[in-house]
Every structure is written in C-alpha cells, then in structure tokens.
Structure 1
Amino acid sequence: MPIRLKWEIENKNRFSNINDYSETDRRRVLNMIDNNLLSVHFQPIFSSKDGAVYGYEALTRIKGDNDKISISDLFLKAILTKTIFPLDMQCRENAIREAVIQNINNSGSYLFINICPETFTDTAYRDGITDELAEKYGISKEKIILEITEESAIQNWKLFKQAIDKYRNRGYKIAIDDFGAGYGGLKMLSTIEPDFVKIDRHFISNIERANINFNLVDAIATLCFRIGIKVIAEGIEQENELRVISSIGIELLQGYYLAKPSPVVNGRGIAIPAIHVKKSSRLHTNEECHFIGDIADKVETIHPTAPVTTASNRFIKNNELWVLPVIESDRAVGMLHRRRFFEEHILGRCGYGMHLNAHKNVRHVMEPQFLTVEANTLLEDVVQRVNSRRPEFLYDDICVTENGRYSGIVAINSLLDAIAKKSLILARGSNPLSGLPGNEFIQREIDKRLSQNIHFDVCYIDINNFKPYNDHYGFERGDFVIKTLANVMVEHIKSFESNGFNFAGHIGGDDFIIIARPQISIPLCEKVISIFESRRQEFHGIDDYKNGFYQSKNRKGEDESFNLLSISIGIVSTEVHRIHSYAQLASLAAEVKHVAKTHSDLKSGSSIVRDRRLLVDDNVTEESKLVFKPSEVMIQNQAVGKELHHPVSPST
C-alpha cells in the first residue's frame, strides 16, 4: 500500500505535547524556508467523464537528504513554534510559481493549493497576500482552488469564515480536503459552503468490499450534488476502487492508480474503465435539454491494423456509410471520411492510389485529427466547436464518446435538425423582447428541479421605478434597458456556469428570474447589479447621470424626482424552505422581492435579499430578525406564515 505523501494536520490531541517542541525545531522550520529546501510535486485530478485532466494538486516535498522529517511533522512543528505563516506562504508561492513555469495556468486546468487555517490567526497575516502572488506570477485567481483539511483544529470559526469569504469574493474557489476524517466535517461544510469536497482515502479504500463505506460515499455524493458541490474521490489506488467510484457517479478522481505526484506535469488523460450500470438520476439534471449523445448513431467501426482494402470494401458495399471511426481499445484514434479517403488514397492524384496503398493498414491513412465530444455536451456547445473548425472540415461528422470511450457518430445535418427543433420550441415560449424563456418554460424548469429534489436558488429580479423611467425617456429606451439586463444575465450566467444548471427567464415587463446553485446565487446577482449599474449613463444620458436623478410623473400624475435605475433581487432557496410546488415558490419569491424593493427605497439603490427564515443560527434568537450585510439582507428565524418585518435602516 503506497504511503500518502500529502501533509495532514490531525486533531487537537496532536497539540497536547507542546513542550516537546523547542527552539531547535523553530530554527529547523525557518532553515527549510530560508535555504529553499522545499519543492513542489503535482498530482493530476481527472474527470471521470472523459479522462481529461481537470486540475493539479500542488503537494509540498522536502528536497534531497533533508527528508528525515516528514511533511506532516514539519507543519506540526511550524504550528507549535509559531512559524506556520512563513512556511504556509512559502508553500503557496512555490506552488503558484511552479504551476506557471509548467504552464498549468494556460492549460485550462485548475490549481489546487493546500492552505493552513492557523495562518489566519497569525499576527503577520494580512489580506491580499495570495492576490499578490497570483498577480506576481500572472495566474488567474479564478483558476486557484484553496484546500482546507477537515482535520484542521479551527479555534475561531467566525474569523475562519470571514477569511474564507474574503478569498471567495476575490474569485478563489474553496475545497474541503479529507472530508470525513475529522469531527467537524458537516459544520465546516455548512460554514464555508465549499465549491469542492474531497472524500478522505479511508472511505475509498476497499470500497468494493466494505458496504458501509460504499453507502457513506454514496450519501456524501448525493448530499453534495443536491447543494451544488463538486465531489473529488481521492486516494484511488486500485482498479476495483475506481470502478465502484465511477458507478456512484463521482465526477472527479485522484489517486496513485491514476497518476502519482510528480515534479513534472504530465497533461495526458487516461481511459476511465467503462462502467455498465444504470445512470444515477442525480447525474442528469437536464434530461429535457438536448445533449449531443441524445442524437448519436452507432456506426460500424474499424481497427487501425485492418487493411486499407477492408475499409474500401465497406464503403463500396454501403453507399450510406460516410465515415468509419477507427477504434483501438474502445478509444477513437482516427477517422476515415468517405470522400477524402477515396480521393486521396484509393484514386490518388494520378489514379494509382489503390496500387500504392493496398498493402498498407488503416493506421497509415486515417485522419488522426477530428472533433470528439462527450455525450453529455450541450448541443449549443458542440455548434460552437464545429464553427471553430477550418472550412474544409466544417461538415465532417462528429465523434461522440462516453467516459472517453467511443459511443457513436453525429452527422452535421442531424446536429442542425436538433438545434432547429430546440430553437423552434424555445421561440414559441420565449419573450419576444428579451428572447429569454417565458413563464411556461420557467415553470417547467422549476417543476423539474423540484421533482428531482435538487437544491437551487430562485432569484426574482425587478427594475426599480421602471414605469416612470418609461414615461420619461420613452418606450424605445425602456426596451433597451430590458434587453440590456437580459443580455447581462445571460452573459454572467455563462461565467458562473455549472454543467447547464443555471437558467435565466423573463417573467414579463421588468421582472426576470435566475435559477442558480445556492453557493453562487449572491455573487452572480452582485455581478449582474454591478454591470447593470455601470451602464446607467447610457440609460439616462450624461446630464441626468451627473445629477444622479431625473424628473418624471409618479402614479398620481404628480412631478417627482426619481433615482437612477437600480435593481431589487429577492432570493428564495430550496435548501432553506421545503418547497412543494411552483405556486408556493412563486409566492415566497414575490414576498421576498417586496422586502428587497423596500430596502432599495430606503438606501436609494440596488439590493439583494436572501430569505433564511428557517435557518437557525447559534447566535440568533427565535425572534424574527433581519440581518443586514453590505451585499445582502438575510431574513432569519421567522416562523412560516408571519408577516415579514421590513427594515428601518441597514447596518453594516
């Protein structure tokens, strides 16, 4: 059994013998830092869908003959001798620098970096240090995932959450490492609402024989799926473990069986073994959407060692066969396209193609470059990839894979037909002004998610004082505002996209809706507000924009001064309320949006209200309360059915 090389910080009992650590230990830690005795190894994290590298975890190693102390002991000594801050910062810088040197930042992969929570309480700690490292080496913060081990001894949860929130607001993603190994896993999950959860190796080991481990891993995966958290199974060391984990539907995989940590990045993917099991419904939350796999046709294949004459005979016998996928070990390695195959290899430029190629096998004449996509890729995404091809290959058939293995072929005309049908259905139910799905589609989306018992947030968006704006500036300018908001929503839903989960709709007039995962709803709404407000000079013109208001008639027909356009957003979450129907959710959303509009009137600007009345906080009494934050209002601990208490003044 391989020894795990990742450093781990165990629970509080490891700190009991604090007197065992001396000034010598302190100097030893500082010596490691000052003399550059720490290096970085990278272990890839793979996607179970296609075997592609999703990201790399940066693991600290001790160079050369200096490894008489283990990494875990080094970090423990650093914590006890109060040298954890410089050690943690050195490890972060090493990880970011080496990732840039090895071009991880330009490969599209994420960089996973372990951070030590004890750093947050160090007197030398300050905000923005990791930002400075990212800017120094030119890596996007959105591509960095900060891992916090569940076994960390967190003394101050409030300070810890504040630090995590600051990282997330700057664009970093958060992962809980070794989930299930400590005692505070669920509390940490609830406190920081991570983007990723890494299931501890203990539960993966021999999972094919340990029924309790299987059930626990399946339960963790189901829980995380429902609240929108990606799951990583780490410590996969055997093929049987990989097969069981894949059958559960966990999408990200890491372990010695797949790839060992290495100082040199290896970007090659692997062939995940095919799992012939019934797909879990939780993996397919968009069955009504059209994926490329829905329209794929099984086409006969050919092996790369087959003679060229075999391929020629197959094309001759079947006039409707336009492409032959070349398959080796269940993976597509090339394609034979009928027209080019005959023109270039059978006829040839001078008519001697068959004589020159008859003795060759398919590998010598196949086209190794071709478009291949996973079966769960959205049709719209496939169209974008098709359009990026060179003109001479624009109409080539598309190879579809499932878990990296050949699944079928899609002809371009089939793709166009599917897109046309989908567009027609969408157009019939879309708002003619914004082009967004209308009420019928909105209800279908919500009903579908409710039936699947998936947690999601509904964000009810309303433009404040839109009627007087329309009356003053005219319907043409009003239509421009509506279209602008719709475009902003669609654009930034894509930037927060999560496998087609997010949804934007137009209820009518100046009312819109966004459906998103709970952990991204507020950042997404904040982004929509920020971009919308940045366009106010276009909406109002230079003079009114400089004045900060405009004059128009109110509903009584009287002249009144109105503030520049702003947005009110009310958010209702199914992780807070037990929603049973579309009507119930619509009623709650309208109620919370009303509170948001009241708050907007008080602060003369945009506001976000997220309803949390059924969530009980340790520091909040059972009395009905409103808790104000700079970017949101949270309605907490109020019994269902009671009238909402409106804010008198916000306090930040």
Structure 2
Amino acid sequence: MLGILPVEKYRTTARAQFLARLPLPRMKEQAMTPLREILEQRRLSALFQPIIDLKSGEFLGFEGLIRGPADSPLHSPINLFGAAEQQGLQLELEMLSRQTVLETFARLNLPGNLFLNVSPLTLTNPSFKNGQTLAFLSQLGLNPERVIIEITENQPTFDFEGMRNALLHYRSMGFKIAIDDLGEGFSSLRLWSELRPEFIKIDMHFVQGVDHDPIKLQFLKSIQHIAESCGTHVIAEGVETEAELRVVKDIGIALGQGYFIARPSPTPPLLASSETSSIINSTNIAVFPKAELNRRSQMSAHKLLTYVEPVHPETLNDHVFQRFTDNPALRTIPVVKGGKPHGLINRYQFIDRFAKPYQRELMGRKPCGGLIAGEPLLVEKSMPIEELSHFLAEADSRHFADGFIITENGRYIGVASGQDLLRELTQMQLEAARYANPLTLLPGNVPINEHIERLLQADTPFVACYCDLDHFKPFNDTYSYRKGDEMIQLTGRILSWACDPKLDFIGHIGGDDFILLMQSRDWRSRCEQALRSFEQAAELMFREEHLAAGGYSSEGRDGTVTFHPLTSLSIGATQIQPGLFMSHHEVSAAMTDAKKMAKKTAGNSLFIEQRSQPTTRSMP
C-alpha cells in the first residue's frame, strides 16, 4: 500500500521482515545501470514545498518532492522518472521515493499535512494492499489523517475502476485525497466528479500569467465555482509572481503553492515570508485583466437565420403569389431543389410584375423558377458575422435588400437579410462599447461597475475619481472631430500612466469621461501629476494664437460669438469607506457630484470630497 520502503536495515524483527519484502534481488539479476545503483544504494533525497492557506496566511502542509543524487544526471525528477519508465523500474523508484519522503518528513518534524505523490500505477498495484503502510506510519509516529495522497497523472489511467476502489480504501483508513494538475491530466475531471477529493490542484499553466490573461482568469473562476459547490479545496500551483498571488487570492481560491510563496527545500520555512504575508493580509484587491473579446464577437451567420419554407423551381407562380398574399410580412421565398438552393424570389419584384395587365393570366400557371433574379448569395452558417459584413459589402448591392441564403454544407437551412445583419452588428457594437471603449480600448461601463462591486464586497477603502474634459465640445468644433479623438486618446494615456497597474483601475465610460478606481496610497499625488502632464501635453494640440489668447472664439447657432477657454482636465475624487456605499450606483452618484464641484474651478483642477463619512478604518 503506497509502496513504502525503509532506507536502512532495522534491528527490530518487524523492520527486518519489511526489508525482506523489497524487490531488490530482481534488480541485481540484471546489469547495474546508474538508476539501479541509485535504487540499490538508496541515494534519493526529499525536498518539501509549502502549501499556504490564502486566508489565514499559515502553511496547511508541504508537498514532498524527490531528487536523485546531486552529482548525477538523474538529479532532475524528469530525468529520474524518465529513466525509470524506460527501464521498467517505475514501481521500485516510486516505492523508494514514498518511503524517503515519509521518513524525512517525520525526521524534520514538519507541522501540518504531507502531500504524498502517488501515480495510478503504484496505487493499483496488488502488492500494496497488505496494510504495511499503516504499520510503517505508526513506527514513524505519523497519523494517516496527516497524509494526503496526491494522484499524479504522467500517463493515461486505464484501470480507472481499480484506482477508484483503491482511493476509497485509503480514505477509509484516514488518508485524504488530492488530484494533481487539473486541466492537464487524462482522467482528473472524472475522478473529481466521482471521488469528491478533499483537494484539487489546478495545473500551473492556468495560474501563471492569470493576471493578464482573461481566459485563464475565467478558467480559474469556473473551477473555483465548481469546487465551492462540492466542498473541495482548490490549490493553485505555480504561483510565481506577486500579481498572480493577488488574483488567485481575490478569486477566492483556498490554497496556493509556488516559487513566489517558497521554493522546494530540504529544510523548508515554517512561516510565510513578510512579502507573501503582506499580500494575503492586504485589503486591496487585484485588478483583473480585461477581456478583449466578448461573446458576440464569436457569433456566426447562424445567429441571423430565419427558416422560410422553400418552393421547388417547378412550383406554379400562382402558388407563390398566394403565399405572399397570405403572409404580408414575407419578404422572400427561397427556391430549392433536392436541398440545393437555386435562388430567391423577391416579394416586391414579384408582386410588381403580377400587377401589370394580363401578367397573372399569362404567368400564373408557369413555374416560378423562371422569375429568379440572378444568382443567389450563399453563406455557410459558420461564417463569423464580422466576416459576413465584409463579404456582403463586396457583393452585388441587391443582396443587401433581397437577402441571402444560409447553408450547411451547401444545403439550404434558412434565409437572412442585410437588415438582419445590420441590426446584429449594431447590437454587437453597443454591447462591445459597454465592455471596452473602441476609441481608447479601455474597459467600459460593465467592467467598471463590476470592479466597484468587487471593491465594495471586499470592504476595501478606495478613491473613486470621475475625470472629465472641460470645454471639449468647442475644441472638437474648432479643430475637427479627428483632433477631438486625439485629445481623448491623449487623456486616456495620461490617466493610465498615472495609475499603478497593480492597484488602480482605469475605465472609459464614453466621450471625454474617464473613471479611476484607486487603491494606491499616493493616489492624490498621482492625480496631481496627471493634471500637470495633461497641461503640458495638451499645449501641443493648440495653435500658437489660441495659446497666446488663452482660448478661442466660435459662433453659435444664433450668430452669437462666444469665447471658450482652452480645454482642461477636471478630476472629482470621492474617498469610499467600507460600509458607506451599498452599490456601484451610489458610488457613481457620489463621483458625479465630486466631478461637478471640480468643474467649477477654472483650468486643470482636482476636487476632493471632504465631507465626513461613517467609518472606523482610515483611508490609505
């Protein structure tokens, strides 16, 4: 069971009997290789890497790792276990590895739990179901409840039922279960659903870079949501940076492991570093990466499809006329033979032709295929909507009004029109603008509101700033909308430079309005620096005569000439204390009031709301 081996000859009878069970004689029958020498001389060493509780900041336990001799090419675990697989010595190596880790863990008297790596091959081997593990743990003074069997998947698991039964057997004896590398292994999801392990380790691929990858962020969120529903603790492996730790913690993941927390060591630390502790104990929240694409950008032509019962090319025109008469909303009727589209009959062209004298009498009994106007535009249902818009723009203009046929593998499945496409494109643009402003590519209204809600739910004090350009419309009218766009983009860049990307969030709600949600302790000096930078940079956008005059004049609709000061930047800042605001709507209203006060001061200005707020926590 678990393949535990003693590392030296014991004097007691029980240990001597245990030693006698080792499969070493079989190894001696063959030529001695470097790996065989390592196993014969038991030259393995154990390292331990802490696993930290991301709420308390304490170490839950340690993962036991194995290394070969330092002076050997087999020092690396990749080389060591690769050689074992090539030489058919996986079981022997794993048995000695487990024993080495357990003995070293007991000798160091490490606190907490031990995560013990076990492969499915070792787990299901019949020779391990004899109870010797419990006896060995008893000799070492280790309670099985402190040992967590961590299932590693470096090869496919074929005996799934055997592994499942073995794990349930070990659990009945007090061991806990962890599944390693979720998202990378072969059967980890199935194991999770059937075994309900106490711990799940997320493969480090999904953790590393999560602070700037929205897809990885969504993966971790989804795994955490599933884990909460089934009582499993998630361990994020491979945490290597401060930013990754902040994001993992804010998602709500329970445990973390990685080089940033502590590297594997023969004598691991028993307490978290001050740097790690400061992040875990901080009330600040991470700035999540923004999604560059929303779900609508992935939509295809199938979204536009409307099924209209087709007619055969030999269908009489009288029948087509009757269908148009019975259904006033019907704009086109597809003509299809054997599933293959032949064309479209346009309602207005058809009715117009039949309305002429004697045309119905002459044409009513003729097949409708003769009234198809030109080749139809065929679109596969999988074509992305944005690609379809370019495709339709390059096609004959009649297809926009007449519509086009949507196919699946060349067979008719429905129709759509240019109006349908235009409606969907407009909706896509409106929704995209809510997530990211197309001019500056900064987060839009939805991410702004989501970040405010996260800050409020975390009881984190922050400063909400509403930034607005003064006298922007006269500048736009005087210098052109293109220059106006440049002014907005310049403002976005200056405000972004003023933010700490680890702590501060910048959003663009539209036009010349920006939002800053700042957790930086020096937020005030950052805002003041943004005002100075804007004043210097904006001068380059005005003509010399306007700079000399301090503004410019323009004529209104009523003919009145008005003088307008140079465009400036106003920032209204509100200090948000825990418990004061209940939703992003209330924060938005407070920001708006502060902005109005800032705009009452001429030139570049910062207004800080100073009214007292009921709180017991000081503002950073």
TM-score of the aligned structures, taking structure 2 as reference length = 0.40
Q: TM-score, normalised by structure 1?
A: 0.38
Rg: which structure is higher?
2
